[in-house]
Structure formats: structure tokens, C-alpha cells
Amino acid sequence: MFNSSNHIYSEIRFDWHKQEILEILNLPLIDLMWEAQIVHRKFNKYKVQLASLYSVKTGGCEEDCSYCSQSIYSASQIKSHPQFEVEAVLKRAKAAKEEGADRFCMGWAWREIREGKPFNSMLEMVKGVRELGMEACVTAGMLTDDQALKLANAGLTAYNHNLDTSPEYYENIITTRTYQDRLDTIKRVRNAGINVCCGGIIGLGENQGDRASFLEVLSNMNPHPESVPINSLVAIEGTGLEDNKQIDSLEMIRMIAAARILMPKSKIRLSAGRESLTKEAQILCLQCGANSIFYGDELLTTSNPSFQDDRKLLKDIGVIFNKDFEYCDKTVTYL
């Protein structure tokens, strides 16, 4: 069925089947990368969005996600602190903007959004980030319709809530909330008119079928999530998955390339785990579809490459990022 002179993946579809996705994931890598690049050049312009991440409320979460250092079920030693105040968060957003970020993502280690002062502060943070001229993203667990509307009215650009893995593998990883809970949360976000940021993790012990099944759920959402973070597990000491083996970087490239083919216009974010990827592996991810990275020395509880290293990497390969977006109006015709 695959013929490299006849590019078959050029449409936006919402009816992908697991079997087709498996075939894509299992293509010879060199062909998969080529197909993904065709799609990427057709729908995007090799512009990478720099998104900075900040943990507003760290640790003490009631969920049992077995990869996470912030769960009360983990024995990880993390710097837990009370929720940061609005002013401190906005100072951090401003600093990220000065480094060149144009999206600021804020995380709360919650099972679901807490009403009262913490939520009012969250709304203030969203407004403040938007006033800085940045996109604002929040990840804080489950939410109600009313909370989603309030976040939309505060100007929230996107809400991150990941499916993490396939419906079949999910219960090996989390037992305190269901896959359906996650889908319901995503629907609430969508209904409130907020962009959806929804992705997952590879390296949890899942197989290729699980990866296909996870991508099937995402790529059958209509519209596709505007943002799809693909994380590779950071095996944190003290978590249930501390002994998991680091995935091979070629698997990350496959996953990014497949996500690009299935969701041509989405921002595919090369997320956690970049410190374990060589410069060359990251370049291949960017070449075959990733168009965003987390930018800044820290993720939530783990480290990330430095601002300087990332800027150098992007400059070295000639990829345009954020501030230069407006100068990038050259449409690449490639087919």
C-alpha cells in the first residue's frame, strides 16, 4: 500500500483506524520520516513555538499516576511548596517572555480545580499572562463547566489534560480516575471554547498497539486537539515507574512522525524527556513534525535543557521560533 512516490497522507481526517495507525507506526523509519515531513511542510512552516512551564502548586496530589513525583503515593523527594502567588507567577512569565517564550503554561498538582482563593488566583494569573501578550495554558486536573467558562472568560488559550496512554493500558498506570473522566474533562474544555492540549507519554511499558490505540483516540477527535504534547517517561526515583527503561530515541521519532501525519495542523510538542535525547535525535523530531518544545531549565519537578542550549540548537538548524513568526510568511510548496 505504501509507495514513496505517491504520498498518501495529505488530508485532514477524523476517521483513522487503529490498524492503519499501526501500519504508519511500523513503516520503515526512513519512509515514515519522509511522509511526515511532506505533511509537515504542507501544513506548517518549520516554525517552533517555545512554551515555558511553571509549577504553581507542586506535590501533594491525590491521584495515583504511577509516573508522577507529585502524587501522594510516590516516595519522590521533591521541593513541595504552597501555591505561588499571582505576582511571583507573572514575574516568572515576564522573564520567560524576555527569553523568547510566547506561551506560558502553569501547572497545579490537583485531582481537580479547587474553588475559592486558589481558583481566583488562577484566573488572575491567566489574565496577567494574556496581558503580557503571551498565550496562557493551564493544567490543573478535572474541572466543571462553570470553571471552564470562567477560564475562557479570563482569556485562557488552552487547557492541558492528557490521556497519557491507550484506553486498554490506562488502568495499569492510574486507578484513581478513569479514561472516561479524562475524556469528559477534555469535552468540557472544548465546549467552553478553550483550545485543547492533550497528549501522552511513551515508555510506560505500553506496546506498539497501545500507542496506535492512544493515537486513534486523539486523531478521531473532531476537531483535533490544537496541541498534542508527546512526552517520553522521565523515570523519577520514588515513583512506581522508577525502574522503567529509557525508550530508544527512534521510538520518539516514530511517535512524533505518526502524530504529525494523523493530526497535520496540531502543534506537536516534543515535551518531557528531551534531556535524554541527543541533539541529533531532537533535530529528527523537529524535522518530522514536532513544532513546539518546553523552553526553560525546569519542567515541573525535573530539569530541561537550558534556554541558551535550545536557542543555539534552533539557530544551528535554521528553524524559526516565536518572535520571528511574523517574518515567516514564505509559503513552502513542496509536493
Q: Which of 231, 227, 229, 233 is nearest to 205 (CA)?
A: 233
**Which element (helix H / strand E) includes 255?**
helix 249-262
x-or-dash pattern for ligand SF4, window 116-155, by CB under 6 A? -------------------------x--------------
Are the C-beta atoms of residues 270 and 290 closer than 8 Å to each other?
yes
Instruction: Give yes or no for residue 231 binding ligand SF4 (CB under 6 A).
Output: no
Are the C-beta atoms of residues 165 and 203 closer than 8 Å to each other?
no
The nearest distance, CB 65 to ligand SF4, in angstroms, is 3
The nearest distance, CB 112 to ligand DTB, in angstroms, is 16
Our CB check for ligand SAM shows the closer of 189 and 300 to be 300
Are the C-beta atoms of residues 216 and 172 closer than 8 Å to each other?
no
Cα–Cα distance for residue pair 94/309, rounded to 1 Å: 20
- Choose which of 234, 256, 257, 288 interacts with ligand DTB (CB under 6 A): 234
> φ and ψ at 252, to 5 degrees?
-65, -40
Mark the segment that binds ligand SF4 (CB under 6 A) among 66-74, 165-173, 216-224, 289-297. 66-74
- Choose which of 49, 52, 70, 166 interacts with ligand SF4 (CB under 6 A): 70
Residues forming a β-bridge with 320: 47
Specify the 3-state DSSP secondary structure of 61: strand
Mark the segment that binds ligand SF4 (CB under 6 A) among 65-73, 230-238, 240-248, 249-257. 65-73
Name the residues annotated as catalytic. Answer: 61, 65, 68, 105, 137, 197, 269
**Ordered DSSP codes for 109-123:** --SBPPPSHHHHHHH
Q: Is there a cis peptide before residue 264, judged by omega within 30 degrees of 0? A: no
Instruction: Give yes or no for residue 139 binding ligand DTB (CB under 6 A).
Output: yes
Residues contributing to the site for ligand SF4 (CB under 6 A): 61, 63, 65, 68, 70-71, 109, 141
Residues contributing to the site for ligand DTB (CB under 6 A): 53, 69, 105, 107, 139, 160, 162, 199, 229, 231, 234, 271-272, 299-302
